Amino acid sequence: MTGAVGFGVFSPRGESPRVGFRVAGGVLDLAASGLGHDFAAQSLNRFLALGRPAWEDVVARVGELVSAGADLVPLEEATVHLPFEVADYVDFYSSLEHATNLGRIFRPDAEPLLPNWRHLPVGYHGRAGTVVVSGTPIVRPYGQAKAPDDAAPGFGPSRRLDFELELGFVVGVPSALGSPVPATVFRDHVFGVVLVNDWSARDLQAWEYQPLGPFLGKSFATSIAGWVTPLALLEDRLVPGPPQDPEPLPYLRAPGDWALDVELEVELSGTVVSRTNARGIYWTMPQQLAHATVNGASLRTGDLLASGTISGPDAGSEGSLIELTWNGAHPTRIGDGSTRTFLEDGDEVVFRGRAGEVELGEVRGTICPPAAWGRTYGRSRETTSKRASTTRGSN
């Protein structure tokens, strides 16, 4: 379907939210389409729960309506909402290039990949309640941080705020507690994909993450596109993934081609700073789903499972600033002549994705200054100034 983007929830000017299908020229109002189903709902969840036959039927009929020139709500008259109620949010770490880059940055004298990385899709459970729709302002988070040379941790706004370019998949059909979901039934449970920006405060993250992993450095906000692109429109973009060595354990074997050929780009305050492709991700979506449920954990409608930062092998294909600038050592230049190590207040980050004739919904966010309340917590002047100079030095 040329110009197709995906399903989401929107309000035509002055009207209540309802389900729509976004195409290049506007939004098809599914509540007014006569297609049946509960498309007057304020989230996609009920549609997601219907399962694959209903999804494919609706996609086909939407295609017919669009081809027949159905009326579209102009984009400028459509307010876009969070497309689904996010049940649980999982974030993986499935790009070999990203994991290798971070290993080299943080453990320069050791093997970049930790011993488990090629045996299972490493991941963590994130915070579903702070997943926000594209366009939501991102307020710079406060938190505790301690640079290596600081005597003690200090409190303040993050000074190393970053983005992470990711592709997430959205679960429609739930599963029962105690029953793993094999990689082979991925299509029966997963509705589609959505671009994700897993905003990351690197300074908070670096101080808090051991031994239990990401926490407040990630949970302040995660942005997703307003439109979920159904797998049914991406079948011809499934291609062979990278070779996996060693061969994964049997529960992680997924027959067929499961890498998704989606061209991706990152724009930072008007300048494209990275281009890559999701097909290079080492662990595939069915493998991620199988792994996330192999212990018997159940799926819920609205679960969001994201790939982890997508980085390619070449310069200019990294999916985060910490990689693009090599932890701040090599600032990135943007169009107005200024440079960035990490994000500054006022910066706007836009992710875009294209899969042939299908365009993924973009995910956009602008960094706002930290909220005033944080100043009341303060910290000793000595710690503040010392941390400030350390941060500059490491940039």
Q: Binder to Mn ion among 12, 44, 62, 91 (CB under 5 A)?
A: 91
How far apart (Å, rounded) are the C-alpha atoms in residues 333 and 339?
Answer: 4
Residue window 193-222: x/- pattern of binding to Mn ion, with contact defined by CB under 5 A: -----x------------------------
Q: Which of residues 251-270 bind Mn ion (CB under 5 A)?
A: none
Backbone angles phi, psi at 374, to 5 degrees: -65, -25
Least separation in angstroms between CB 207 and Mn ion: 18
Choose the binding region for Mn ion from 4-12, 142-150, 161-169, 285-293 (rule: CB under 5 A): 161-169
Q: Which among 81, 98, 189, 330 is annotated as catalytic?
A: 98
How far apart (Å, rounded) are the C-alpha atoms in residues 343 and 368?
Answer: 10
Is 164 among the residues that bind Mn ion (CB under 5 A)? yes
Annotation says 37 is catalytic:
no
Is 162 among the residues that bind Mn ion (CB under 5 A)? no
Least separation in angstroms between CB 214 and Mn ion: 8
Looking at the Cβ atoms of 91 and 323, the one nearer to Mn ion is 91
Backbone angles phi, psi at 126, to 5 degrees: -100, -165
Strand, helix or coil for residue 91: strand
Least separation in angstroms between CB 75 and Mn ion: 29
Number of residues that bind Mn ion (CB under 5 A): 3
Q: Where are the beta strands (DSSP E) in 64-133?
A: 78-81, 89-92, 123-125, 131-133
Choose the binding region for Mn ion from 2-10, 140-148, 157-165, 223-231 (rule: CB under 5 A): 157-165
Looking at the Cβ atoms of 307 and 391, the one nearer to Mn ion is 307
Least separation in angstroms between CB 340 and Mn ion: 19
Mention every residue, 6+ apart, whose C-beta is less than 8 A from residue 248.
119, 120, 287
Q: What is the enclosing helix (H) or strand (E) of 340?
A: strand 339-340
Measured at CB, which residue is nearest to Mn ion? Answer: 198
- Specify which residues 139 forms β-bridges with: 368
Backbone angles phi, psi at 60, to 5 degrees: -65, -45
Looking at the Cβ atoms of 29 and 91, the one nearer to Mn ion is 91
Looking at the Cβ atoms of 5 and 363, the one nearer to Mn ion is 363
How far apart (Å, rounded) are the C-alpha atoms in residues 262 and 167?
Answer: 9
5 and 23 in contact (C-beta within 8 Å)?
yes
Nearest by Cα to 85 from 49, 118, 116, 119: 49
Least separation in angstroms between CB 198 and Mn ion: 3
Residues catalogued as catalytic: 98
Positions in the binding site for Mn ion (CB under 5 A): 91, 164, 198
